[in-house]
Amino acid sequence: MVITKRSGIYLQLFSSFLRIGAFTFGGGWAMISLIEREVVDNKKWIEREEFLDLLAVAQSLPGVLAINIAVAVGDRLRGMKGSVAAAMGTIVPCFAIILTIALFLTPDLIQNNHVVASVFRGIRPAVVALIIAPVITSARAMKIGWKTAWIPVVVALLIWSKLPWISNPILYIIIGGTAGYLWLRRQEKRLAEAHAGKDGKEEKL
């Protein structure tokens, strides 16, 4: 990770998330691919795997995903002050855009004005692409292959089913966390047994 000088990191955090917030439509998921490119590829503040870990934490917390991931990245770099700088950079353009829309773009204007309606129709495909991009990137980074691809597919279908309890995303967050914990304990147990067996052989020799 490249450590930026303390005097300029707060301004860089604010300006980076300000640009992302100002030119992203479609909500938090549409911002993820831009945030990843900025903090991982361009600025090289954190590694890609660490970013995915922060993204998992941000998704698990209540609140807006874009602000959660901004706070997580800022905290990782410069603690509380970094979190505030990144969060403010994300919030300011969104607040300004929403305020402008509320003042000037009424529902009647959006529906009846052909120019405005065409602009929003043109934005929709780009929003879909921005949402799909981080999903593909995350899948590659997590090394999801044909043997494990069925897990997110099945979970997505169950959530989409709208069945009582079965379609609750919280259920799968709990199941996923529990399964990950049990898998880790199993791996640690195997590693401990392997070390114990190796030490026993060395003692016999």
Task: Dump strand ranges (E) for 18-174.
Answer: none
Predicted local distance difference test score (pLDDT) of residue 110: 67
Secondary structure letter of residue 3 according to DSSP: P
pLDDT above 70 for 200: no
- Mean pLDDT for the chain overall: 79
Whether the Cβ atoms of residue 86 and residue 97 lie closer than 8 Å to each other: no
Return the closest-CA partner of residue 141 out of 42, 55, 74, 66: 55
Residue 26 Rama label (left phi>0; alpha psi -120 to 50; beta)? left
Statement: residue 28 has pLDDT above 70: no
Mean pLDDT for 35-54 is 85
Q: What is the mean pLDDT of residues 29-53?
A: 83
Question: Where do the structural domains in the chain lie, given as residue ranges?
Answer: 1-143, 144-205
Q: pLDDT at residue 147 above 70? A: yes
Q: What is the mean pLDDT of residues 161-189?
A: 85
Please give the share of the chain, as a percent, with pLDDT higher than 90: 2
- Beta-sheet strands, E only, within 7-134: none
Mean pLDDT computed over 55-84: 85
What is the pTM for the complete model shown?
A: 0.62
12 near 30, Cβ under 8 Å? no
pLDDT in the model for residue 1 = 47
CA angle 29, 146, 170 (to 5 degrees): 40
Residue 133 structure tokens: 């991009």
pLDDT class of 88 with cuts at 50, 70, 90: very high
pLDDT tier at 134, thresholds 50, 70, 90 = low
* Of residues 106 and 157, more confidently modeled: 157
